[in-house]
Amino acid sequence: MGHLNIIVGGDANAKSTWWGSSIIDSRGEEVAGSFEDMGLQVLNTGNTPTFDTIRGGKQFTSFVDLTACSEGLLGLIEDWRVESGITSSDHNGIVFKIKLEKSKGININRQTRIFNTKKANWSQFREKLAQLEEEHQINIIEINKINNITSLDQFIQNYINNIIKTSRDTIPKIKNSSVVNLPWWSTELVEMKKEVNTRKHRIRCAAPIRRQKVVDE
């Protein structure tokens, strides 16, 4: 879809927790997968059903009407909501606003790759990495000395830092100007994401006998 600005909406007759349903059915999985493939973001929010009717004296409700947009429009659409009473249909009305200016947010790359490995000098890479490993004592002897999670985390981080430094010195970076502005993303969320990743790593690396303790912490 490239950089097209697209808004789509309608009765998808599909259920998914992504747009308010309590369950996910097969059609909901297909719709969600299609949206992901096309780079569309679901705008539905809140807990007001989009379908609401009375049949045989019993109320039936569901969340089957969807609105989605391309990434480039996320910063322009706001106040999405469901409103009852504005149509004669069993489906409630859906309204939202489109702004003329984007909200300020954080520009992030569309991909996480940094280095162009197709143009890497692997001989130079191995030589540089071996040099850094020797300087920082990254070897089997030091690995065998590790006896706690903190030391393990520090050792892994040092190794990662060496790889990053070596890559910067021996592999050209990918020239990519494709970025997307996420108005809802913030510096605070960036720090929270880092903290979550750190805690997940500690749980993964914890010995079975103490994993539950790490999870509780």
Q: How much is the pLDDT for 38?
A: 86
Q: How much is the pLDDT for 106?
A: 58
Strands 93-98 and 77-83: antiparallel
Band (pLDDT 50/70/90 cuts) for residue 10 is very high
Q: How much is the pLDDT for 1?
A: 46
> Is the pLDDT reported for residue 186 higher than 80?
no
**102-112-214 Cα angle (round to 5):** 105
pLDDT tens for 164-176 read: 999 999 999 877 6
pLDDT above 70: percentage of residues in the chain: 89
Q: Are 108 and 185 in contact (CB under 8 A)?
A: yes
pLDDT tens for 66-118 read: 999 988 888 788 889 998 877 778 899 999 998 876 555 555 555 567 888 88
Q: What average pLDDT does the segment 182-196 reach? A: 79
Q: Which domains does the chain have, with CATH numbers?
A: 7-103 (3.60.10.10), 108-185 (no CATH)
**Phi, psi of 55, deg, nearest 5:** -135, 125
Annotate the chain with three-state secondary structure: CCCCCCEEEEECCCCCHHHCCCCCCHHHHHHHHHHHHHCEEECCCCCCCCEEEEECCEEEEECCEEEEEEHHHCCCEEEEEEECCCCCCCECEEEEEECCCCCCCEEEECCCCCECHHHCCHHHHHHHHHHHHHHCCCCHHHHHHCCCHHHHHHHHHHHHHHHHHHHHHHCCECCCCCEEEECCCCHHHHHHHHHHHHHHHHHHHCCHHHHHHHHHC
- Measure the CA–CA gap between 217 and 121, rounded to whole angstroms: 44
